Structure 1
Amino acid sequence: MKNQRILLSLFAIYFVFAILLNSVGTVILQVINTYGVSKSAASVLEGFKDIPIGIVSFLVASQLPRLGFKRAMLVGLAIVTAACVVMPLVPGFWTTKLLFLSVGVAFALVKVAVYSTVGLLARGRKEHASLLNTLEGVFMVGVLGGYWLFSAFIDSSNSGSTAWLGVYWVLAVICAIAFVLLWVTPLEESGTRVEGASPRQDFLAMVKLMAKPLVYIYVISVFVYVLIEQGIGSWLPTFNNEILKLPTAMSVQAASIFAASLALGRLGAGVIMRRVHWYPVLNICLLAMAMLVLLSLPLANNIEPNPSVNWLSAPIAAFVLPLIGLFMAPVYPAINSVMLSALPTHQHSAMTGLLVIFSALGGTTGSLITGSVFEAFDGQVAFYLSLIPITVILISLFFFRRAVERGDERVASAAAPAG
């Protein structure tokens, strides 16, 4: 019962941060229309979110066991609640930058704490993989809900309207509810730190993790994966609006298919990976992603504007391209679970810090590259380029699997009785 209350708190926290973090694509479209900024200028919002995530994670991840995971999550929720309240009170592009800066700082605290807490609750690799996939599935349900929540406040008939800012009052209330739920939930955090170690020693231990071949192959895989996911997720609403000629609100709603596919894929992967080894599953998923890119983008050629477009008359590409999320979904939770399960509990916080850093760098890089190519050429060229990082992940996962198996063999050899 106690674990169920903790999991409910983690799910609530991840749900609200899913909406805030993945609203970048929708907000990019809205600030272009509302404040008249360029695409390249709007693309920096990803950086305002992701760079603070990387910096804060690097500086504090190894120290969070000292602060306490519950306290870290409460601080993160308090920060974003305040930022959401400011958004509608002081409208402006700079306020939007401040919002994503706050979300980035808060999520750095929250993600390290949440992932480390999963390590405290899980008993064995299979349960860890199941919990992590379920958690990430809930995250994608939040992303899906976020698209529809934002679209409900968008005035498609007046592109310059600031009515969409009203969504932040709703988000502030959700953050406050998550704060109270966590506040009243007890959390046992023993065994999360090495007794007698100084803050400097904890920090150096995190840095030294990077010296392991398994770890640097892992962070490359994470970086490239997030580059793809954020590149597509952040710019899909704009792709729908400018390339597929959908109305603004419908462009945001159609992008929710991507989030729904990710949610379904991650929840389904939690069941599949209890029975099937992660490596062949991920290879099949990556090949399917490449096939969907090659199949869907030609369907977006030469589409003419249709003022009366609806869900029945929308271009087929609006439904096919977002399905890439179904196959993309299992990759991130699977490699994270494999990596964390290979480490003792007291190293989970430091390892998650490295995970968050490289995820943030990958997200910023993906959004900036996609936005720049989108502006210089068009959305089709930008999305065709996703084939390059998909190939890179296929290669990196081969070496990641070999490194994991070698580590398991060394552990087995050390545990075997002598003679």
Structure 2
Amino acid sequence: MFMMFAMTTDAVGVIIPEIIKEFDLSHTAASAFHYGPMMAIAASGMLLGFLADKLGRKVSIIIGLLMFSAACGLFAIGSSFAFFLFLLLISGVAIGIFKTAALALVGDITVSNSDHTKTMNLVEGFFGVGAIIGPFIVSYLLANDVSWKYLYIVAGVLCIVLCILAAFSHYPTYEAKPNSKHNLKQTFEIVKQPTTLGFSALIACYVASEAAIYVWMPSLLSEYTGSLEYVVPWTITIFFTLRALGRFGAVWVLKHISWELAMMLFSAAICLCYVLSMALSLDVAIILLPASGLFMAMIYPTLNSKGISCFPKEQHGAIAGVILFFTAVAASVGPLLMAIVSDMMGGQAKYGFYVATVFAALLFAGLFYNWKFKPAQEQLLIQQIANN
């Protein structure tokens, strides 16, 4: 599931130039293909995340997958930008439903906080694989004069297969407590918790800094004319490949050092990559910015898993939805803020990356504090004892 929806969401950067030509759109209008579904995912995560707790993981996953498959299938009959954007909004709502249920399911199948984190890095590794496959499929289609729409048709077919597998798979027994209330009121109560706000803020800083790579790095390097010019077309692929490999490698890392120390060290490396890229030249940026994918790899899944693990299992759907809300908002607002700053400074992408560098510095500061004082340690221990 993670690989399948990453194929569509992370291929948008390759699709946007095509729809600009096809529908004669401005960059602002075409960018709705990115921020439209992201905002739909955010709204769905916040407003519908509790369904995984109320209806159960299996039912919610199947509902989300059916919605996503239907939206992808309808790309075959569409011909207008407005219709395609509408389908992307529907697919965003669907992703919000099945992803929160899938994240809650990870909590059901794991036996400890550390096991939860390792499993989360593993499944997010498949997301990283999908982020490589999606743009490749679109590029292959376009190179053979085939419409980009077929990416969504391929995803829709995969989704039908996933629906069948989900329907016949055995799920861990999940029963909500009789006095539990799974509704929007409970979700908003979770939002107000300091633990939720802390993890969500860290995740937002991470996502905003990461989004600068796959949204604006091609623009930053477009004027590069140095000895590594042949690497420019491959920088995004290198970044996504290192991110995927790093997530699988994170399972090994977490066996040897604490998650707090690992996150602090990797966030320091990310911050250093950004600072040196901005302070020095594009000759440095063309190496360090793609390389940052290796250090970014374990940040999101680890923060995600720890944030979810701070709450009882019957609230995992709701907290996963809240975290997904902050993820999607940061993925939308971060690149937009960078674009605004770049435009204010004469259209130079480097100034947008200064904003991304600030987010990377904030991420390091937060994870340094987390390593030094371990504010979530007590809550994680309480929930681990309760779940056992």
TM-score range, shorter-chain basis? Answer: 0.7 to 0.9
| Separation (CA, whole Å) in 2 of partners of 1:110 and 1:121 | 16
Q: Could you say which residue in structure 2 is the equivalent of 1:175?
A: 159
Q: Deviations over 1:90-123 (max 9, x none)?
A: 2332233223212210111111101110111001
What is the TM-score normalised by the length of structure 2? Answer: 0.87
| Separation (CA, whole Å) in 2 of partners of 1:20 and 1:90 | 17
Distance 1:412 1:188, change over 3 A: closer
Q: CA deviation at 1:346?
A: 1.4
Q: Deviations over 1:1-42 (max 9, x none)?
A: xxxxxxxxxxxx111011112122222232233333222222
Q: CA deviation at 1:263?
A: 0.6
Matched, 1:363 2:335: no
Q: Could you say which residue in structure 2 is the equivalent of 1:404?
A: 376
Whether the 8 Å CA contact 1:290–1:387 is kept in 2: the answer is yes
Tell me whether 211-220 or 287-296 shows the greater mean CA deviation: 287-296
Matched, 1:221 2:199: no
Of 287, 293, 302, which residue of structure 2 is paired with 1:325?
293
Distance 1:87 1:63, change over 3 A: closer
Q: Deviations over 1:102-149 (max 9, x none)?
A: 221011111110111011100112211111010111110111111211
Distance 1:261 1:92, change over 3 A: farther
Matched, 1:393 2:363: yes
Paired letter, 2:354? Y
Of 177, 199, 202, which residue of structure 2 is paired with 1:194?
177
| Separation (CA, whole Å) in 2 of partners of 1:68 and 1:406 | 28
Q: Could you say which residue in structure 1 is the equivalent of 2:349?
A: 379
Paired letter, 1:216? L
| Separation (CA, whole Å) in 2 of partners of 1:371 and 1:50 | 17
| Separation (CA, whole Å) in 2 of partners of 1:77 and 1:243 | 42
Matched, 1:130 2:98: no
Aligned ranges 1:347-358 → 2 under 5 Å: 347-358=315-326
Match of 2:257, SS? coil
Q: CA deviation at 1:44?
A: 2.7
| Separation (CA, whole Å) in 2 of partners of 1:387 and 1:230 | 12
What is the TM-score normalised by the length of structure 1? Answer: 0.81
Q: Could you say which residue in structure 1 is the equivalent of 2:83?
A: 95
Q: Could you say which residue in structure 1 is the equivalent of 2:237?
A: 256
Paired letter, 2:154? V
Q: CA deviation at 1:260?
A: 0.8
Paired letter, 1:351? I
Distance 1:90 1:42, change over 3 A: same
Paired letter, 1:284? L
Paired letter, 2:360? I
| Separation (CA, whole Å) in 2 of partners of 1:131 and 1:232 | 26
| Separation (CA, whole Å) in 1 of partners of 2:385 and 2:248 | 35
Q: CA deviation at 1:85?
A: 2.5
Q: Deviations over 1:24-65 (max 9, x none)?
A: 222223223333322222223332112111222222222332
Q: Could you say which residue in structure 1 is the equivalent of 2:93?
A: 105
Q: CA deviation at 1:378?
A: 2.3
Aligned ranges 1:232-251 → 2 under 5 Å: 232-237=213-218, 239=220, 242-244=222-224
| Separation (CA, whole Å) in 2 of partners of 1:412 and 1:65 | 19
Distance 1:412 1:87, change over 3 A: closer
| Separation (CA, whole Å) in 1 of partners of 2:72 and 2:380 | 46
The unaligned stretches of length 5 or more in structure 1 are: 1-12, 302-315, 415-419
Q: CA deviation at 1:345?
A: 1.3
Q: CA deviation at 1:153?
A: 1.1
Distance 1:244 1:81, change over 3 A: farther
Match of 2:170, SS? coil
Of 134, 139, 144, which residue of structure 1 is paired with 2:127?
139
Q: Could you say which residue in structure 1 is the equivalent of 2:22?
A: 34
Q: Could you say which residue in structure 2 is the equivalent of 1:53?
A: 41
Tell me whether 369-378 or 93-102 shows the greater mean CA deviation: 369-378
Distance 1:189 1:413, change over 3 A: closer
The unaligned stretches of length 5 or more in structure 2 are: 226-230
Distance 1:237 1:17, change over 3 A: farther
Whether the 8 Å CA contact 1:43–1:367 is kept in 2: the answer is no
Q: CA deviation at 1:295?
A: 4.2
| Separation (CA, whole Å) in 2 of partners of 1:92 and 1:375 | 29
Match of 1:181, SS? helix
Work out which of the two has the higher radius of gyration on C-alpha atoms and give 1 or 2: 1
Tell me whether 210-219 or 354-363 shows the greater mean CA deviation: 210-219
| Separation (CA, whole Å) in 1 of partners of 2:147 and 2:239 | 25
Q: CA deviation at 1:412?
A: 11
Of 148, 153, 178, which residue of structure 2 is paired with 1:164?
148
